[in-house]
Structure 1
Amino acid sequence: MKALNILLLLFIILLLGSGCAEKIHVENCVQGEAHGFLDGLIHGVIAPFALITMLFKEDVTVFAIHNNGFWYAFGFILGSGGWGILAGKKK
């Protein structure tokens, strides 16, 4: 039960934090400095919420269009759960 409460608290914090995210128009995403590792990490964490939002709004994307390639993608993968990279071995 304690683990469930901690998980619920983390989910609420994540939900409230993602609500504070700045909205950037797609046209502005291809200008300026490319998104890097830290941006990819943050985008990976909020990706589930962005995916749900994409159902209702056309101007929301999950993956930044203007990124620096490998490091952005690596941060995105880690932020979205790491595809099991960080999972421990089962006993």
Structure 2
Amino acid sequence: MNNFLNRKLKLIILIMMTIFLLTGCMPGDGSYTLKKPANFLSGVWHGWIAPISLIFSIGKNNIRIYETINTGFWYDFGFYMAIISGFGGLSFSRKNK
């Protein structure tokens, strides 16, 4: 029984740490400025966490799925690549059946 509680506590701590790390770098959090806009890698990251950002945006008005202060094409390209690859749209290798 004690082992079960330890595993459950570790899982809860892991989930809380993951949520804390993800919310620290969501789009719309005010970390980007006109002098330092979101770039390609930020677009990739924001694309990967877009479903999580959507859930958090329900409770917080400043959290968005997409960062509006960005570099333009390269941010959009990274965001789009992450969105389609996250849902299996990009496959660099095929499995043989």
Please give the range of the TM-score, normalised by the shorter of the 2 chains: 0.5 to 0.7
SS of the residue corresponding to residue 60 of structure 1 reads: coil
Contact 1:36/1:71 (<8 A) preserved? yes
Give the percent of matched residue pairs that are identical in Structure 1 and Structure 2: 31
Deviations 1:45-89 (A, max 9, x none): 011000011111111011111111111001001112347651367
CA distance in 2, matches of 1:34, 1:41: 14
Higher radius of gyration, 1 or 2 = 2
Contact 1:35/1:64 (<8 A) preserved? yes
Contact 1:38/1:72 (<8 A) preserved? yes
Deviations 1:11-50 (A, max 9, x none): x89x92x53142533xx53443121110100000011000
| Matching of residue 38 in structure 1 with residue 41 in structure 2 | yes
**TM score, norm. by length of structure 2:** 0.60
SS of the residue corresponding to residue 46 of structure 2 reads: helix
| Matching of residue 76 in structure 1 with residue 95 in structure 2 | no
What is the identity, as a one-letter code, of the residue corresponding to 1:54?
Answer: S
| Matching of residue 86 in structure 1 with residue 87 in structure 2 | no
Superposed, which structure 2 residues align to 1:1-91 within 5 Å?
16=18, 19-21=20-22, 22=24, 24-25=29-30, 29-82=32-85, 85-87=89-91
Tell me which stretches of 4 or more aligned residues in structure 1 moved more than 6 Å.
none
What are structure 1's unaligned runs of at least 5 residues? Answer: 1-11
